[in-house]
C-alpha cells in the first residue's frame, strides 16, 4: 500500500498487500476500463446495474435515461458504490484451491451530483464518448435540446476509493509443486474485431479513430 486508505469502508481487508489508494493507480484502472457496475439500495432492495462512464480529473461521469430508477436514485443523493474490474489472466494452479485470476479493480464510494446546465452536460457527455472511442465526438452530431432533456448526467467524486491488483503466477503449496499438473497463467486481452458497417450509407472507409481502438486497453 502506497498510502493509507481514505476511509475504513474503502480499506482492502482481504489480502491487504494487494490494495492501493494512490490517485495515479486508481485513475489508470478507471481509464483502462469500459464498464462500471453501479450499486444502490432502492426501497430496501439492493440492485446493481452495468454502465459505461468517463473520467474528468477527480470525478467519474455517468449518464442514462432521466426516467431510470438508478439515475433518479443517485440524483436524490442515495449512497452509491461503483466497481470497475479489468481481467488480465486466468491463474491455473496445481490445486483447485489456489486457482485465481490476475486483475486490476477499483471500488468507489460516494454520492452523485447532477450535472445541470446544458453546456456542462455536453462537456460531460463528450468526456464519456471520448473515453469509449477517442476521436469519435468530433465526427458525430452532438445531442440536441430534446436529447439533453431526456438524459441525466451525474458526477461522482473520486475520493473514497481503493484499487486491488493481483499479478503473477499461481501460489501453490510447496508439497504440490511435484504434482504432474501444468500450472501457469492464461493471459486475457480485449481485442477488437473487424469493424462492421451498418449498411445505411455514408463513407465506406473506416475512420482512423475506429481503427486505432482500443488505445492500449
E strand or H helix that includes residue 63 = strand 59-65
Question: What's the pLDDT score for residue 203?
Answer: 82
pLDDT tens per residue, range 94-105: 999 999 999 999
pLDDT tens per residue, range 105-149: 999 999 999 999 999 999 999 999 999 999 999 999 999 999 999
Q: Hey, what domains does the chain have and what are their CATH numbers?
A: 8-170+198-211 (2.30.110.10)
pLDDT tens per residue, range 34-79: 999 999 877 677 889 999 999 999 999 999 999 998 899 999 889 9
> Is the pLDDT reported for residue 86 higher than 80?
yes
Residue carrying the nine cell digits 452495468: 50
Q: What is the CA 205 to chain-centroid distance, rounded?
A: 30
- What does pLDDT average to over the chain? 92
- The pTM (predicted TM-score) of the whole model is 0.91
Question: What's the pLDDT score for residue 2?
Answer: 59
Question: What's the pLDDT score for residue 217?
Answer: 43
Cα separation, 93 vs 99, in Å, equals 5
> Is the pLDDT reported for residue 216 higher than 60?
no
User: Mapping DSSP to helix (H, G, I), strand (E, B) and coil, where does residue 29 land?
Assistant: helix
Question: What's the pLDDT score for residue 77?
Answer: 87
Q: The dihedral of CA 48, 54, 59, 62: what is its sign?
A: negative
Amino acid at each position: 500500500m502506497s498510502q493509507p486508505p481514505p476511509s475504513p469502508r474503502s480499506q482492502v481487508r482481504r489480502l491487504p498487500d494487494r490494495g492501493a489508494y494512490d490517485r495515479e493507480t486508481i485513475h489508470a484502472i478507471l481509464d483502462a476500463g469500459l464498464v462500471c457496475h453501479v450499486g444502490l439500495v432502492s426501497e430496501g432492495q439492493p440492485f446493481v446495474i452495468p454502465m459505461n462512464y468517463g473520467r474528468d480529473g477527480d470525478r467519474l461521469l455517468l449518464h442514462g435515461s432521466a426516467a431510470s430508477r438508478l439515475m433518479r436514485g443517485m440524483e436524490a443523493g442515495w449512497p452509491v458504490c461503483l466497481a470497475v474490474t479489468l481481467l488480465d489472466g486466468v491463474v491455473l494452479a496445481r490445486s483447485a484451491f489456489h486457482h485465481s485470476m490476475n486483475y486490476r479493480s477499483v471500488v468507489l464510494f460516494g454520492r452523485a451530483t447532477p450535472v445541470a446546465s446544458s453546456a456542462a452536460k455536453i462537456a460531460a457527455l463528450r468526456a464519456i464518448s471520448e473515453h469509449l472511442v477517442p476521436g469519435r465526438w468530433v465526427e458525430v452530431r452532438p445531442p440536441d435540446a430534446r436529447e439533453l432533456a431526456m438524459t441525466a448526467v451525474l458526477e461522482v467524486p473520486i475520493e473514497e476509493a481503493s484499487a486491488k491488483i493481483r499479478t503473477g503466477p499461481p501460489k501453490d503449496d510447496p508439497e504440490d509443486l511435484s504434482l504432474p499438473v501444468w500450472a501457469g497463467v492464461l493471459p486475457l486481452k480485449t481485442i477488437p474485431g473487424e469493424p462492421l458497417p451498418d449498411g445505411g450509407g455514408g463513407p465506406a472507409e473506416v475512420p482512423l479513430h475506429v481503427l486505432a481502438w482500443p488505445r492500449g486497453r
